[in-house]
Amino acid sequence: MNTNASLNSSKTLNPVAATFQKLFDNDWLDFAISHVNPLFSVTRTKARVVSFHQETPDALSILLQPNQNWAGFQPGQFVPVRVDIKGVIHERCYSITSAPGESTIRITVKRQNGGLVSNWLHQHLLIGDIIELGAAGGEFVLPAVLPEKLLFIAGGSGITPVYSMIRAALASNPEADIVLGFYARNYLDLILLDELEALKEKHAGLRIQLCITGERMFPEDLVGRFTPAQLQGYCADVASRETFVCGPAGLIEAVVAHHAGKGLEAQLHKEYFGLPPVVREPGASAEVIYLKSGLTVETSEPTLLQAAEKAGLKPKFGCRMGVCNTCSCVKKEGVVRNLVSGAIDDTPNTLIRLCISEPLSAVTLDI
């Protein structure tokens, strides 16, 4: 993941360090230098927890100090966060809510009902802890040339990347004309609202429309879920705005339908938050995305190994019965069933053995 960072750092290594890197593998070197400073690593991006800020009852901002391998991000992107929970490393992606160029980065984590990692971060993470980060990713970013007029529609924690983008847009053009439709169940769910209002104080071009699906407390706020008529009410010139929507699937689908109806699809950018994986019925087909091969193939094969072979790939395999581990590879996303143990695995970035894994949803594999 941090290949760029590692290549850059090895270029600048002196001959002594280069010899060391040949003699000892990176894990060994990481182990040695972590005794000097637990943040040090040859290739991995580690970060120290600097502070916490409770944004809402179930949203926590975490300020992180990354090491020299952190390659930066664009506003709107997320960062994969890896934490060790009971001996197992779990990875989840969280939106970065700080501005680029700062020495620290801030992520804002909404506690998910039953969510392993978000709950762990809320309950167990301590100041001074070291966690590992991946490289920032995601296509949900501002265009290279900032449009004159922007519309953001955010639902719940979908505000986190949107907040970053609004702040970046105003930083590059303080006069930018921005409308934000901010949807939440109730007032307690309005993450980062105080920071948004501080931006509004400074920038006359920013308008914020709160839309509460629960009980309304202030007359200027709107009630209920997204409707085209409601949007027309707070943003009459939607046709002239580049639109960015982020939130739960229901909100995004409503906005997509609205824009499609007006022929505005080309100016709509979207990012799904909290989309549950579609579990396939027995015998039905599932989509498998092969990242390294650049292939996407529907399959109804019983195992992912057979699916890959049917798709014309030649993944390494040995025993075809879950013993030798030759066919194990990283499952980036999706739900699979282990045919030997029956265990269901729905976490991203786990190692699975293809020969005994049955796809239960769309699955993305790193082969």
Partner 1 sequence: MSAFENIYKTSSKSRTLSPAEIDAFGAELDALRQSVMDNVGEREATYIRNVQKLVRYTEIGGRALLMAGLFPPAWLAGTALLSVSKIVDNMELGHNVMHGQYDWMNDPTLNGNTFDWDTVCTADNWRQTHNVVHHTYTNVQDVDHDIGYGLLRLFPEQKWEPRFLLNPIAASLLAVTFQWTLALQSLELEKLPKGEKTLAEVREEFKPILAKMRKKFFKDYVFFPLVAGPFFLPVLTGNLTANLVRNLWTFSIIFCGHFTEDAETIPEAAIANETRGQWYLRQIRGSSNLTGSRVFDFMSGNLSYQIEHHLFPTVPAVRYKEMSVKVQEICARYGQHYNAGPFSKQFFTVVKRILRYSLPTAKPAQLLAA
Query: Where on the chain is the footprint of partner 1 (CB under 8 A)?
Result: 19, 22-23, 25, 27-28, 30-32, 84, 86-91, 318-319, 321-326, 328-329, 340-341, 349-351, 353
**Least distance in angstroms from the C-beta of 49 to partner 1:** 20
As measured in angstroms, the least distance from the Cβ of 190 to partner 1 is 35
Whichever of 3 and 103 has its CB closer to partner 1, that residue is: 3
Cα distance between residue 348 and residue 334, in whole Å: 7
The least CB distance from residue 120 to partner 1, in Å, is: 13
Question: Are 167 and 98 contacting, i.e. CB atoms less than 8 angstroms apart?
Answer: no
Using the minimum distance from each CB to partner 1, give the nearer residue, 39 or 278.
39
**Closer to partner 1 by Cβ: residue 28 or 53:** 28
CB-nearer residue toward partner 1: 32 or 344: 32
The radius of gyration of the chain from alpha carbons, rounded to an integer in Å, stands at 23
DSSP string computed for 78-141: EEEEEEEETTEEEEEEEEB-SPTT-SSEEEEEEPPTT-HHHHHHHHH--TT-EEEE---B-S--
Which strands make up the sheet holding 328-333, listed edge to edge?
295-299, 286-290, 363-365, 328-333, 350-353
Distances (CA, A) of 211 to 57, 203, 208, 247, 298: 19, 21, 10, 13, 39
Give the residue with the Cβ less far from partner 1, 41 or 95.
41
Q: Are 363 and 334 in contact (CB under 8 A)?
A: yes
Of residues 228 and 302, the one with the C-beta less far from partner 1: 302
> Which strands sit side by side in the sheet containing 242-247, from one edge to the other?
222-223, 206-212, 177-184, 149-155, 242-247, 268-272
Between 31 and 298, name the residue whose CB sits nearer to partner 1. Answer: 31
Instruction: Write down the least CB distance from residue 7 to partner 1, Å.
Output: 18
C-alpha 90/C-alpha 83 separation (Å) is 6
Distance between CA atoms of 153 and 303, rounded to whole angstroms?
40
CB of residue 86 to partner 1, shortest distance in Å: 4
Nearest Cα to Cα of residue 251 among 222, 225, 278, 224: 225
